[in-house]
Chains A and B, each alone.
Chain A
Amino acid sequence: METYLTLIIAIVGAPLFPGIILKVKAFFAGKQGPPLLIKYFTLLKLLRKGSVYSTSTSFVFRLGPVVSLASALVVLFFFPFAGSRPLFSFHGDVIVLFYLMGIGRFFTVIAALDTASPFEGMGAAREVFFSTIAEVTIFTILILFYRLNGSLSFAEYFTGENAIALSHASGALLLFVIVALFMVLLTENSRVPVDDPATHLELTMIHEVMILDHSGPDLALIELGSFYKLFFYSSFITHIIYPFTFASGILNELIFYVILATVYVAIGVTESIMARVKMDLVPKFILTSFALVFFATILTMGVLQ
């Protein structure tokens, strides 16, 4: 029961949280900002519209939104939100899930290339480059987690006796992971300083420019997929920060959503106080995250022997 409940809350509630980011940014800018539910309004608006398809495109263009949404959704099925049992789980699921996100990205990229637009090609090239480097960080984190408790699935990471949590013996190493994962979150979800979702200059965009030609319900599906992706990464960080081991499900939920909101606030703060880095410095930014977790992983060689 709790499994279904948390999953439904995640699926329905994911579009709420990006509103927090906008609020925080508005606060820093001294504005009132859009309402918290702005993303729901956007989705509803898009769903009411029709679409304009470019004459250059083929069926691949329409496949892009579907695959990216499907891959983001499947990831949610395997995540133990607020310490509850996930819908599905097996030893090794993390590898599959990160690869599933890969297929979502693959189709977003080729859908962008389908439009024959030079801008979208540019965005696609950046997306595949940066995500390849980010993938290395992710897998280093998986290696570190395997060293810490020998598990290979989200459920095993965050539930059970030997759960991964900041408060445990090797928690110091997890500080690196949290910082690195936050950097990957910014990269993979096209936030400042890697990408600027609010920019109006196509040349400087990554993710936004790839979906320039999508409109109507297709765009809504893409947006929904990206909310889920952001929600997943934020929950991942939340779980590392705090283990949800209370007997009461409701208490777990409450703390989970508070910390989750804090992660979103952190994203908003980062976006407000930082400018985006130059495009050729982005690989360095992502490699910094890799260096952090790689260092932590090397440390386990001494710690555990």
Chain B
Amino acid sequence: MTNEAILAKIREAYPTAVVDVPEEMTDFTIILAAEQLFAVAKFLHDELGMDYLTDVTAVDYPDHFEVVYHLYSVERNQGLLTLKVLIADKTNAAVASVTPIWPGANFMECEVYDLMGIDFPGHPDLRRIMLWDGFPGHPLRKDFENRTFTFKELEPTRPKPPNW
């Protein structure tokens, strides 16, 4: 099944979900509406056999966030399908978690939450895994300037017993 065939089936089942299919991308990309992501993802997993989610990541653009999903299919040995979700609201960014469908997305979404600050409602255990809870800011955002800290500067933010 080619990527275009998958796109046709998604359009059939969820007519309003597909927002855009950009031309001239190196990888075939489908941009979905954020509210329908979970339903389309479940459809892709159950009906169309896209059983292998390889990556969940996010990119910070000046006016919106993009959450990017890379999917493959192991049983049909099919190549890369990229899904994207655009989030315009940067202060309360949230998109439904796909961990109930693909449990491997657990740590990937935790990392996106930690470093970009995007919330994933429905995630079983969302916590800051790379840095700690009190760390000031979300480092991978473009407005976080890449500077070095001294030990003393970050000392008040570190977790104290018994929460370490």
Q: A and B from one assembly? A: no
Chain A positions near chain B (C-beta within 8 angstroms): none
Chain B positions near chain A (C-beta within 8 angstroms): none
